[in-house]
């Protein structure tokens, strides 16, 4: 009881702070440039924290710690996979994205190509990623809050959806950025403190912690197993999806636009990589700490599929107050991630679909802002309804699906648009659609849906001709998407795209054309 009151107290403090930030940000959000990109005024250091905040979902703290607690080393496979995509963003994507685009990744893919078809396809790919990731987050949020605070599921989903709506609707990117920064700071602080308190029980020596774990549960906890990731090619496929999916997540890419220039974007990725890396190392300690100090059985008994490992550990090493704090941090984490996701969905609907497809690039500032706000309300309501509809479902696959689609639909077209002169409109459209659809179909035919969700016996579906044994489709869908793109580019010709390639390369290098050094915002005349 006491700890629940404390965590609610912590949580209200977080809400009060973030709503004050939103009020402050709302008065500075006047144009689409502000709404989607915080006016390009965010510093690299802030943006690095915000990227970490956007990317570290509750899965990173609660989920991975839980997997480590029950399986040992294997939990780290996710930690590593979620980190190695960041260097790829830095080397291949962020500078071209920042210099060529304005709000979305489709800006870059469509730059040389025909706007309407490419933007529509890009929007379909992006919205599919966001939708699945958002549902996964909402459902996880609802059930975790139920577990942590005792609040009924429906109410948890409604509260999270409404608060997120307020951040995005009124404060746009500026408020969302600061919410991410505050949340990331709390998450890092909480994670480091928790890991530190664990290590004080082991003379500050992680090896003693691992030794204690293997004494209690056998050396298998220090060794790779096959429970978390089964199948050899499935492991490689999971790796592909995590690495290249991370490199093409729309809400991450969107942050390239919130800073002053390409150099600042580059620095913010470096900071984010460092922060996320340190956090994942802490989570590994936290997972093993929960294994030894709380016990794998006690964590499993607490319910929530192992997600209670970190909070229970906080209770064991830091008492009620720390338990409350970690619960509140988890809540704040979920809230911030859904806000970031929603904002990138809104950018796609408003900037790609409305402004550039429906209105052919002629919508006024006021109209775009209005559409953006309507889209925000729509996506929030949608997220709340779907969150409620999927209560109790196993939605872990949806997060995996989001990464698979990002990796197969968005990554190939983005890389080819930046680097390959011959890339054409039909190739881009087909590559995005094939990547999206093949990921969906492969997951539907895999044991993830057939056995885990539909409850068919594995032996029966294994006999079917359509059965796909891979749980992670990336190893098939990503090469397929690349192949379709390359093949179609070779058999089609697009003179304008070909001619504009040099101009695009120059812009990738030097940034948008001729802007006065003293004018910070991006060209106003563009609209």
Query: How far apart, in whole angstroms, are the C-alpha atoms of residue 20 and residue 22?
Result: 5
Q: Does 496 bind another protein (CB under 8 A)?
A: yes
Q: How far is the CB of 463 from another protein (least distance, A)?
A: 26
- SS3 label, residue 259: strand
Query: Which is nearer to another protein, 436 or 446 (by Cβ)?
Result: 446
SS3 sequence, 466-515?
Answer: CCCCCCCCHHHHHHHHHHHHHHHHHHCCCHHHHHHHHHHHHHHHHCCCCC
Q: How far is the CB of 234 from another protein (least distance, A)?
A: 8
Query: Which is nearer to another protein, 116 or 456 (by Cβ)?
Result: 116
Q: Does 219 bind another protein (CB under 8 A)?
A: yes
DSSP state, residue 42: B
- Provide φ and ψ at 42, rounded to 5°: -75, 140
C-alpha distances out from residue 90 to 3, 246, 251, 384, 400, Å: 42, 12, 15, 34, 22
Site string for another protein, 285-304 (x = CB under 8 A): --------------------
Out of 21, 52, 64, 112, name the contact with another protein by CB under 8 A.
Answer: 112
- SS3 label, residue 81: helix
Q: Does 378 bind another protein (CB under 8 A)?
A: no
Q: Does 76 bind another protein (CB under 8 A)?
A: yes
Q: How far is the CB of 158 from another protein (least distance, A)?
A: 37
What's the full length of the chain, in residues? 527
Query: How far apart, in whole angstroms, are the C-alpha atoms of residue 270 and residue 89?
Result: 10
Q: Does 79 bind another protein (CB under 8 A)?
A: yes
Q: Does 83 bind another protein (CB under 8 A)?
A: yes
Q: Does 117 bind another protein (CB under 8 A)?
A: no
Q: Does 364 bind another protein (CB under 8 A)?
A: no
Short-list 180, 132, 393, CA closest to 276 = 180
- Rg value, the chain, Cα: 23
Q: Does 514 bind another protein (CB under 8 A)?
A: yes
Q: Does 232 bind another protein (CB under 8 A)?
A: yes
Q: Does 211 bind another protein (CB under 8 A)?
A: yes
Tokens of 295: 């016990």
Query: Which is nearer to another protein, 224 or 318 (by Cβ)?
Result: 224
Tokens of 349: 């609907």
CB 508 within 8 A of CB 99: yes
Q: Indicate if the alpha-carbon torsion angle 508, 51, 376, 396 is positive or negative.
A: positive
Q: How far is the CB of 312 from another protein (least distance, A)?
A: 23
Q: Does 499 bind another protein (CB under 8 A)?
A: yes
Q: How far is the CB of 190 from another protein (least distance, A)?
A: 20
- Provide φ and ψ at 309, rounded to 5°: -55, -55
Tell me the longest C-alpha to C-alpha distance in the chain.
69
Got the DSSP string for 148-159? HH---HHHHHHH
Short-list 26, 88, 92, 21, CA closest to 53 = 21
Query: Which is nearer to another protein, 430 or 504 (by Cβ)?
Result: 504
Whole-angstrom distance between the N-terminal and C-terminal Cα of the chain? 55
Name the segment binding another protein (CB under 8 A); options: 8-16, 51-59, 215-223, 393-401. Answer: 215-223
Residues 85-104 that bind another protein (CB under 8 A): 86-88, 90-92, 102
Q: Does 505 bind another protein (CB under 8 A)?
A: yes
Out of 162, 419, 464, 493, name the contact with another protein by CB under 8 A.
Answer: 419
Q: How far is the CB of 47 from another protein (least distance, A)?
A: 14
Out of 43, 117, 185, 224, name the contact with another protein by CB under 8 A.
Answer: 224
Q: Does 236 bind another protein (CB under 8 A)?
A: yes
Question: How many CA within 13 A on the CB side of residue 518?
Answer: 0
Q: Does 458 bind another protein (CB under 8 A)?
A: no
Q: How far is the CB of 270 from another protein (least distance, A)?
A: 5
Q: How far is the CB of 171 from another protein (least distance, A)?
A: 25
CB 189 within 8 A of CB 53: no
Q: Indicate if the alpha-carbon torsion angle 219, 224, 229, 232 is positive or negative.
A: negative
Name the segment binding another protein (CB under 8 A); options: 56-64, 82-90, 120-128, 386-394. Answer: 82-90
Q: How far is the CB of 515 from another protein (least distance, A)?
A: 11
Residues that bind another protein (CB under 8 A): 73, 76-77, 79-80, 83-84, 86-88, 90-92, 102, 111-112, 115, 207-212, 214, 219, 222-226, 229, 232-233, 235-236, 239, 243, 263, 266-267, 269-270, 273-274, 277, 280-281, 284, 355-356, 361, 419, 496, 499-500, 503-506, 508-510, 512-514, 523, 526-527
């Amino acid at each position: 009881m006491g700890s629940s009151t404390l965590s609610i107290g912590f949580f209200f403090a977080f809400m009060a702070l973030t709503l004050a930030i939103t009020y402050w940000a709302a008065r500075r959000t006047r144009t689409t440039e502000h709404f989607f990109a915080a006016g390009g005024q965010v510093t690299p250091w802030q943006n690095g924290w915000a990227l970490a905040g956007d990317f570290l979902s509750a899965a990173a703290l609660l989920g991975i710690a839980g997997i480590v607690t029950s399986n040992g080393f294997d939990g780290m496979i996710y930690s590593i996979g979620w980190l190695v995509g960041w260097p790829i963003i830095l080397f291949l994507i962020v500078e071209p994205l920042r210099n060529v685009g304005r709000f979305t990744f489709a800006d870059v893919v469509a730059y040389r190509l025909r706007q309407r078809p490419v933007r529509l396809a890009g929007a379909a790919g992006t919205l599919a990623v966001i939708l699945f990731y958002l549902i996964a987050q909402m459902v996880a949020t609802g059930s975790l809050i139920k577990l942590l605070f005792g609040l009924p599921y429906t109410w948890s989903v409604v509260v999270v959806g409404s608060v997120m709506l307020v951040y995005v609707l009124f404060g746009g990117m500026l408020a969302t950025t600061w919410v991410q920064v505050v949340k990331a700071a709390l998450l890092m602080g909480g994670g480091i403190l928790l890991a530190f308190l664990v290590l004080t029980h082991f003379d500050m020596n992680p090896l003693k912690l691992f030794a204690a774990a293997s004494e209690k549960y056998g050396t298998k906890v220090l060794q790779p197993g096959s429970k978390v990731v089964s199948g050899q090619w499935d492991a490689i496929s999971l790796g592909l999806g995590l690495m290249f999916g991370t490199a093409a997540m729309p809400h991450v890419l969107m942050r390239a636009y919130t800073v002053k220039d390409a150099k600042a974007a580059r620095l913010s990725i470096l900071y984010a990589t460092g922060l996320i890396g340190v956090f994942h190392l802490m989570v590994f300690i936290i997972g093993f700490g929960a294994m030894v100090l709380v016990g794998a059985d006690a964590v499993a008994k607490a319910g929530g599929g192992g997600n209670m490992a970190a909070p229970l550990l906080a209770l064991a090493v830091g008492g009620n107050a720390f338990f409350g704090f970690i619960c509140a941090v988890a809540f704040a984490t979920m809230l911030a991630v859904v806000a970031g996701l929603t904002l990138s969905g809104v950018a796609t609907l408003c900037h790609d679909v409305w402004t550039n497809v429906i209105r052919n690039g002629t919508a006024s500032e006021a109209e775009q802002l209005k559409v953006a706000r309507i889209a925000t309300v729509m996506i929030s309501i949608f997220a709340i309804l779907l969150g409620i509809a999927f209560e109790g479902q196993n939605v872990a696959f949806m997060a995996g699906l989001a990464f698979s689609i990002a990796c197969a639909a968005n990554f190939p077209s983005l890389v080819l648009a930046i680097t390959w002169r011959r890339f054409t409109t039909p190739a881009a459209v087909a590559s995005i659609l094939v990547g999206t659809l093949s990921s969906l179909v492969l997951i539907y035919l895999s044991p993830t849906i057939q056995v885990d969700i539909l409850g068919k016996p594995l032996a029966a579906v294994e006999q079917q001709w359509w059965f796909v044994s891979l749980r992670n489709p990336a190893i098939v869908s990503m090469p397929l998407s690349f192949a379709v793109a390359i093949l179609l580019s070779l058999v089609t010709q697009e003179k304008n795209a070909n001619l504009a390639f040099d101009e695009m390369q120059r812009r990738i290098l030097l940034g948008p054309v001729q802007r006065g050094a003293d004018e910070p915002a991006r060209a106003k005349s563009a609209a």
